[in-house]
Chains A and B, each alone.
Chain A
Amino acid sequence: MTDGPMTNLSVSIGGGLTLKNPVMTASGTFGYGDIYASYLDLSLLGAVVVKGLSLKPRMGNPPPRIMETPSGMLNAVGLQNIGVEAFIEEKLPFLRSFQVPVIVNIFGESVEEYGEVAGILDRIEGIHALEVNISCPNIKRGGITFGTDPSAAAEVTRRVKEATRLPVIVKLTPNVTDIGAIARRVEEAGADAISLINTLRGMSVDVEKYVPHLAVVTGGLSGPAIRPVALRMVWEVRQAVSLPIIGIGGIANARDALEFLIVGASAVQVGTANFINPRATLEVLEGLRSFMERKGIVDIGEIIGSLRIRLEEER
């Protein structure tokens, strides 16, 4: 699995952070890196993005929490996590033993909490960037999701930036009308990169029992079913901002990843596919290499944003 001398897969994802390749894991699908370490060599990945962390541990939602849907799944885990302190003490030492950048996904219920979590992680050795999940309810403002409100999204971004020297990636929710507008505000607020998309809100019903399949009624849709929506949104954000973009949404193989890179993402995250194939990330990586060899592409940068649109013909 060594790179040929002629193939450069390294990408810059903002804030001075360069990854040896553009393939990482998506938060919430890879635990704290410990789960899948016996299935693949983590050090081959571009980065590991760990499960979202909050200031205090969170119990999560009651079961049932998941349901399979056509080419995807709904989840309503409810941001269950061990809390930032336990992560640092119990999980980070193991992750540090691999030669792989660690990106920590964080969230809060208030702007202040985002800042606090970011501040705690800022002082910790072995963390390479923060990914800010803004798809959570703002408790102080009646539970409206930060990521659906442009000024709240900007406020969270600013606060996290103030609290840390680490590169800050803001992860956008797709449950908005104009994702480009949110992306612009996040860029203005100082984000180093943007990742998208988080899950799409969905629902599924057991018709025999007249009950929703998820205990909390609605959940987040992920998997190949959302890929075309994710790709369209990455395209929109590409046109709205100049920040590096990390594409997420139903990526299971190299062809999927290439779609995102061509549209303008500098890197990708593999999420739900890990559940079906724990080595999906490495297979994406291998597939990217063989694509580049086949096309005679030396630097992956040649692929990023290479979409050709035949507007001339339409006129």
Chain B
Amino acid sequence: MAGTRQVMTAVILRQQEVLPGHFLMTLSCTPGMATPPSPGQFVMIRRMGEEHPFLFRPFSIYFSSFPRGEDRLDLFYRVAGRGTEIFSRMAKGEKLAIIGPLGRGFTVFPEKKTLLLAGGGMGIAPLYCLAAALRDRLEKGGGSVTAYFGCRNADFLPVLKKFAPLCSSLRISTDDGSYGFKGTVVELIRSDLHQYDPAGTVIYGCGPRPMLKSLSALGRKYGMAGQVSVEERMACGVGACLGCAVPVKTADGDTAYVRVCREGPVFDFDAFQG
């Protein structure tokens, strides 16, 4: 029984500092991935042939495409630690080791016609992938996609505006009120909630843990289905190390630790415990 999955090589095609400290890195992977990535999935990347950083780092997929049979991936990230700092200094042509796509992504429910995206800060990354995948459905008149995004201030707007062509409407909140609604993105969604029929609506969230906690609590309270994409430190990314555990509520009401890399990173509101 020969191995079917492998560590692949990715070449950096482009590394763009979209905003200070925020980078969009485009990779070309060879050989192509075993399965095409679906929205909400992630990849593990590591500098090829270097000892530091020691472990692979997980990145959610911001966008994927397949021009001329190659796999092209866009990763959107903020410099937050040693790993991302090293990645941000890598230039076009440099090589990365990459494993993926990994994990369980977002579920698209055909019966739900009203789709709400809820992103906090860098949480927009997997939601962009999702919005791009939903574009066809939206164009064929299959309901609406409303994107709700929260950020610290108006500086983040150029990134958020990229969602405009992919969504029916874009609703923005800032912590300081420098643009749009002043407050958190969950408060903004709550203020709009009367517009939506709970049975026909689904919310897809990604952002800081406290935001996901209040978002899933909101969904549960109003009987709206939803999913959140969770971040956790990882060593292997494939389910062996058990390092990325998060508590979830099981079907029989107990709490269990499950792996973000395998059972996640996307969890239903009902399972997610913050």
The chain A residues found within 8 Å of chain B, CB to CB, are 28-31, 35-43, 51, 59-60, 62-73, 75, 77, 80, 98, 223-224, 272, 274-279
Contacts and interface: CB of A to CB of B under 8 A. Distances in A.
Contacts of B3: 37-41, 279
10 contacts: A36-B238, A38-B5, A65-B244, A66-B244, A75-B235, A80-B242, A275-B55, A276-B54, A277-B7, A279-B3
Given A28-B241, A65-B233, A68-B83, 7 more contacts: A29-B236, A38-B4, A39-B6, A41-B2, A63-B245, A69-B54, A279-B6
A275 B236 contact: yes
Contact of B241 (A66, A72, A279): A66
A35 B257 CA distance: 18
B143 interface: no
B266 to A, nearest CB: 17
Interface in B198-252: 232-236, 238-247
B170 to A, nearest CB: 33
A223 B235 CA distance: 11
B233 A67 contact: yes
A71 B51 contact: yes
Interface in B47-105: 51, 53-56, 83, 99
A77 B242 contact: yes
Given A41-B3, A276-B54, A65 B239 contact: no
Contacts of A75: 235, 241, 243
Nearest to B81: A68
Interface in B1-26: 1-7
Given A38-B3, A39-B3, A60 B245 contact: yes
A39 B235 CA distance: 17
Interface of B: 1-7, 46, 51, 53-56, 83, 99, 232-236, 238-247, 255-257
A63 B241 contact: no
Nearest to B2: A41
B1 A98 contact: yes
Contacts of A59: 255-257
What is the predominant secondary structure among interface residues of chain B facing chain A? loop
A41 B240 CA distance: 16
Contacts of A68: 53-55, 83, 233, 235
Contacts of B51: 71, 224
Nearest to A64: B233
Given A59-B257, A276-B56, A39 B5 contact: yes
B274 to A, nearest CB: 11
A68 B46 CA distance: 13
Contacts of A223: 54
A276 B46 contact: yes
A140 B103 CA distance: 40
Question: 10 nearest interchain CB pairs?
Answer: A66-B243, A275-B236, A35-B240, A38-B5, A31-B240, A77-B242, A275-B235, A39-B3, A40-B3, A65-B243
Contacts of A66: 233-235, 241, 243-244
B245 A73 contact: no
Nearest to A58: B257
Nearest to A80: B242
Given A31-B239, A73-B235, A98-B1, A63 B244 contact: yes
B243 A278 contact: no
B108 to A, nearest CB: 26
B102 to A, nearest CB: 12
Contacts of B99: 278
Given A60-B245, A62-B247, A64-B233, A73 B55 contact: yes
A228 to B, nearest CB: 16
Residue among B83, B236, B247 with the highest chain A CB neighbour number at 10 A: B236
A35 B243 contact: no
A276 B242 contact: no
Contacts of A63: 232-233, 244-247, 257
B232 A60 contact: no
Contacts of A43: 1
A65 B7 contact: no
Contacts of B243: 65-66, 75, 77
A167 B56 CA distance: 36
Contact of B238 (A35, A71, A72, A279): A35
Contact of B245 (A30, A69, A80, A224): A80
A275 B247 CA distance: 23
Nearest to B82: A68
Contacts of B236: 29, 35, 274-275
A41 B7 CA distance: 15
Contacts of A37: 1, 3
A39 B4 CA distance: 6
